[in-house]
């Protein structure tokens, strides 16, 4: 080997030495010398304000957050009345350690809810709904996962599972993927062997799950959970999000149709959740800064038209033999500025048609829908596809023209 050149690999003594770098200061993507904020801190900060703490302490731990009934459809296609019971709990364990960018369920939680409180909430709900005698389905939501032992005591889990089975009520519960192990599902099905587990998948895309949603699990984790549910003989309901943060409307429309196609074969129901702005969340901050707008209602209609051939390859309706999966769309806060909305004139009619489709699965629900703002919606999407704007244009749909042209 040749001799190493003199001075190579070390500073020459006669050259000026660089200033030592302060290792306590990390470089950030934007800014100079400022420590980057973690998504965890952005998510948790609103919940830790004195006002939020006072509000949480004001909730009655022995009463559920809300109880109501809605028209629904049993797994065999039979129309029925369904009870929704949203329990007041400690919240989601993922939110304790990090949290999703869009979820404001922490607003309805209390840190000190006990097992006795949960039993009292269940008793109160049953009393209000005549012992569930007038419904055939019960949806139990906990601002987290019913089957998560760290959130919900095992004794209360068993009671809900057992009582719904004994009363012949079809039960729907929500869960993250990590709870849906073979062992946990074997335990649950020993009390109730015919219920539905709804998973907040949000996106069938690891990049979106990590960087847009901060979901805390992967597509692979979802696939494994679905396989376990199928093996246990349970039904699968998957939630997908329309227009997650940091995504344009045009991209959201294209992506969600692909996600529906990817999961339709294994999901008995696919519920599309159009983004709505929940207080104290990261998406709430973006919305206030005019850097995000909830979806157009027209985008939801277009999504349904594109996705219908995926879930009904022969053009059928819900309950027909060609049905692969049931597609459900419920625009929370539909027609309002913080939910999916159009110009304000046609919103009620479009929301009503979308809600009817969720039950019927019939594209004829959209026949005759029209409004002048549909042309503007189509132009917005064309412009987003033509310009390199990954966050979208997000113009206001209801402000005066001069206001819409102003920068944030």
- Residue range of the domain that includes 339: 39-403
On whether residue 12 sits in a domain, the answer given is no
Residue range 121-125: average pLDDT? 97
Output the pTM of the full model: 0.83
Residue 112's SS3 state is: coil
Exposed / middle / buried, residue 220 (Cβ in 10 Å: 0-12, 13-18, 19+): exposed
| CATH code assigned at 74 | 3.20.20.70
On whether residue 28 sits in a domain, the answer given is no
Regarding beta strands 79-86 and 66-73, do their DSSP bridges make them parallel or antiparallel, or are they unpaired?
antiparallel
pLDDT value of position 192: 98
CA–CA distance, 104 with 125 (Å, rounded to integer): 23
CA–CA distance, 145 with 91 (Å, rounded to integer): 8
CA–CA distance, 44 with 23 (Å, rounded to integer): 27
Residue range 146-156: average pLDDT? 94
Candidates 194, 82, 191, 77; CA nearest to 132 is: 82
CA distances from 73 to 136, 141, 144, 188 (A): 9, 18, 24, 23
Q: Is the pLDDT of residue 40 over 70?
A: no
CA–CA distance, 116 with 113 (Å, rounded to integer): 8
Instruction: State the average pLDDT for the chain.
Output: 85
On whether residue 27 sits in a domain, the answer given is no
pLDDT value of position 169: 98
CA distances from 328 to 66, 343, 358 (A): 22, 23, 5
CA–CA distance, 81 with 312 (Å, rounded to integer): 25
Chain CA centroid to CA 243, Å: 10
Q: Is the pLDDT of residue 42 over 90?
A: no
On whether residue 384 sits in a domain, the answer given is yes
Q: Is the pLDDT of residue 380 over 50?
A: yes
CA–CA distance, 377 with 397 (Å, rounded to integer): 9
pLDDT value of position 6: 38
Per the structure, the count of domains in the chain is: 1
On whether residue 17 sits in a domain, the answer given is no
Instruction: Give the DSSP letter string of 121-162.
Output: HHHHHHHHTGGGTT-SEEEEE-SS-TT-TTTS-HHHHHHHHH
Higher pLDDT, 71 or 349: 349
On whether residue 178 sits in a domain, the answer given is yes
CA–CA distance, 289 with 246 (Å, rounded to integer): 13
On whether residue 355 sits in a domain, the answer given is yes
Instruction: Give the DSSP letter string of 161-172.
Output: HHHHHHTTPEEE
Higher pLDDT, 389 or 288: 288
On whether residue 31 sits in a domain, the answer given is no
pLDDT digits (tens, 9 = 90+) for 341-365: 999 999 999 999 999 999 899 999 9
pLDDT-based confidence at 13, cuts 50/70/90?
Answer: very low
């Amino acid at each position: 080997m040749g001799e190493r050149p003199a001075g190579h690999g070390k500073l020459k003594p006669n050259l000026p030495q660089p200033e030592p770098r302060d290792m306590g200061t990390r470089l950030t993507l934007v800014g100079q010398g400022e420590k980057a904020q973690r998504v965890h801190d952005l998510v948790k900060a609103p919940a830790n304000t004195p006002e939020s703490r006072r509000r949480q302490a004001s909730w009655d731990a022995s009463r559920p957050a809300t109880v109501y009934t809605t028209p629904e459809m049993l797994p065999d296609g039979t129309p029925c009345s369904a009870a929704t019971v949203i329990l007041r709990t400690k919240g989601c364990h993922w939110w304790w350690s990090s949290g999703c960018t869009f979820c404001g369920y922490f607003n309805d939680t209390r840190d000190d809810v006990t097992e006795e409180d949960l039993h009292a909430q269940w008793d109160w709900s049953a009393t209000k709904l005549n012992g569930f005698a007038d419904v055939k389905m019960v949806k139990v939501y906990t601002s987290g996962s019913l089957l998560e032992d760290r959130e919900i005591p095992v004794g209360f889990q068993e009671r809900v599972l057992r009582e719904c089975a004994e009363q012949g009520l079809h039960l729907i519960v929500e869960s993250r993927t990590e709870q849906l192990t073979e062992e946990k599902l074997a335990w649950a099905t020993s009390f109730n062997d015919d219920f539905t587990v709804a998973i907040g998948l949000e996106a069938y895309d690891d990049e979106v799950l990590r960087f847009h949603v901060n979901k805390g699990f992967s597509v692979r984790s979802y696939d494994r959970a679905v396989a376990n549910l199928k093996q246990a003989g349970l039904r699968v309901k998957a939630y997908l999000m329309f227009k997650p943060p940091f995504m344009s409307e045009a991209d959201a429309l294209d992506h969600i149709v692909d996600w529906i196609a990817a999961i339709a074969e294994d999901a008995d129901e696919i519920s599309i959740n159009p983004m709505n702005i929940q207080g104290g969340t990261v998406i709430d901050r973006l919305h206030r800064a005019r850097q995000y707008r909830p979806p157009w209602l027209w985008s939801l209609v277009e999504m349904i038209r594109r996705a219908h051939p995926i879930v009904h390859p022969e053009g059928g309706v819900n309950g027909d033999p060609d049905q692969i999966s049931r597609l459900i769309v419920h625009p929370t806060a539909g027609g309002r500025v913080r939910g999916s909305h159009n110009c304000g004139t046609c919103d009620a009619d479009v929301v009503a048609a979308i809600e009817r489709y969720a039950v019927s699965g019939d594209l004829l629900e959209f026949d005759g829908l029209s409004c002048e703002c549909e042309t503007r919606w189509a132009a917005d999407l064309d412009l987003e596809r033509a310009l390199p704007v990954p966050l979208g244009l997000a113009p206001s749909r209801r402000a005066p023209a001069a206001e819409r042209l102003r920068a944030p």
